[in-house]
């Protein structure tokens, strides 16, 4: 019997259609954009610009459960990360801890829309503004289904078009702002990258082929690729998004927006047993809301690990798996930070399911047989769900 394994994230990449760059600029109106070679570089460029504009402020407030690339961007920009815990049972920063962490040195609060679940941008932005700081909305894991739907509410927005992102071209990122002066200054931080269009097109073709469930076991079995591992990698340089990637952004956005949200709706209708919590429903999202991964919380680490193992071939993943101070390469850099008990428990209990276009109805059925059968359990929504 042939191996069968679903990637945890990432839909088919549409690469063939090319548009004029003017169409890219119009895609994000009324936001102005500066386009980088990665989402990490975009955040680093923005933080570097803000540091120059708002000196001597140099501290960045981040959630303790986060992508280590956040630390890479902050360090490249010469910023000091200040970590805060999560709200209980939520992918949101604890507002009281954010308020306590703010100081005259705070440059920015970076709020992440984890899995596409909107952070509470409204109150976070109010706290930042009252402190003379900036609220950055990291939307690398989420993208609005409709233009101008109010998803983006930060002072600036970070996007990523990398592997596994909702709108993916295997490369690229962007800073969005309504302030043309900020975008002009951010653009000055990037270098022009060398041209490698043919090589990148081959990477896209290989990615589209190997994400097939009958083939994904091959890259997943190669430790050198590091698929599914979370580790810290310092950012060495920031460059501009190549023009041959940038001209394909509208096509990728259109393909993403053509999705129906059917997989998310099927998961939302799935009965959960064993104390599993539907995190998206608990945060107040409607059943068909688009998510980069579908997050559940198991009662404890042991049951999460057992479910991940049983559903490994169906794309189940613990995601980052640990809080930032415990990520490989960050132990010494973030030593003494913490203890962040809520974020640590969240990391230990989190289980994510794939939502990309490679998931079939039979896959959802297999997942349902492992997870379902009883009544769906959700936790009462707390505070705002969409900023």
Q: Predicted confidence band at 225 (pLDDT cuts at 50, 70, 90)?
A: low
Position 374 scores a pLDDT of 38
Measured in degrees and rounded to the nearest 5, phi and psi for residue 233 equal -130, 115
pLDDT per residue over 285-318, tens digit each? 999 899 999 999 999 999 999 999 999 999 999 9
pLDDT per residue over 243-265, tens digit each? 889 989 999 999 999 887 789 99
Q: pTM higher than 0.85 for the full model?
A: yes
Residue 191, judged by CB atoms within 10 A of its CB (0-12, 13-18, 19+), counts as exposed
Q: Predicted confidence band at 159 (pLDDT cuts at 50, 70, 90)?
A: very high
Three-state secondary-structure class, residue 282: helix
For 330, which DSSP code? T
Residue 180, judged by CB atoms within 10 A of its CB (0-12, 13-18, 19+), counts as exposed
Give the helix ranges, DSSP H, for 102-156: 121-130
Three-state secondary-structure class, residue 83: strand
């Amino acid at each position: 019997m042939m191996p069968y394994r679903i990637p945890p994230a990432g839909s088919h990449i549409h690469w063939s259609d090319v548009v004029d760059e003017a169409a890219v600029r119009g895609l994000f109106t009324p936001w102005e954009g500066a386009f980088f070679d990665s989402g990490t570089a975009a955040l680093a460029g923005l933080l570097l610009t803000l540091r120059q504009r708002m000196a001597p402020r140099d501290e960045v407030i981040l959630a303790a459960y986060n992508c280590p690339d956040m630390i890479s961007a902050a360090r490249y920009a010469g910023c000091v990360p200040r970590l805060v815990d999560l709200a209980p049972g939520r992918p949101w920063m604890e507002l009281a801890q954010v308020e306590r962490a703010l100081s005259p040195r705070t440059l920015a609060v970076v709020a992440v829309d984890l899995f596409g679940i909107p952070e509470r941008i409204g109150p976070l932005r109010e706290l930042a503004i009252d402190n003379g700081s900036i609220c950055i909305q990291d939307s690398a894991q989420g993208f609005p289904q409709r233009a101008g739907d109010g998803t983006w509410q930060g002072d600036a927005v970070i996007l990523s078009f990398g592997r596994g992102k909702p709108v993916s071209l295997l490369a690229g990122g962007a800073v969005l702002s309504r302030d043309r002066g900020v975008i002009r200054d951010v653009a000055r931080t990037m270098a022009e990258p060398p041209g490698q269009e043919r090589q990148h097109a081959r990477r896209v073709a290989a990615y589209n082929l190997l994400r097939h469930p009958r083939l994904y076991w091959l890259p997943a079995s190669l430790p050198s690729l590091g698929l599914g591992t979370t580790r810290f990698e310092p950012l060495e340089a920031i460059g501009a998004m190549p023009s041959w990637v940038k001209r394909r952004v509208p096509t990728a956005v259109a393909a993403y927006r053509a999705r129906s949200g059917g997989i998310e709706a099927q998961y939302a209708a799935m009965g959960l047993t064993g104390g599993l919590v539907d995190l998206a429903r608990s945060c107040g999202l409607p059943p068909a809301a688009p998510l980069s991964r579908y997050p559940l919380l198991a009662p404890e680490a042991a049951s999460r690990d057992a479910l991940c193992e049983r559903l490994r071939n169906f794309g189940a993943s613990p995601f980052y798996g640990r809080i930032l101070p415990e990520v490989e390469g960050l132990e010494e850099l973030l030593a003494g930070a913490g203890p962040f008990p809520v974020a640590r428990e969240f990391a230990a209990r989190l289980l994510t399911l794939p939502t990309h276009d490679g998931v079939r109805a039979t896959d959802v059925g297999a997942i349902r047989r492992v997870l379902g059968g009883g009544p769906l359990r959700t936790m009462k929504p707390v505070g705002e769900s969409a900023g």
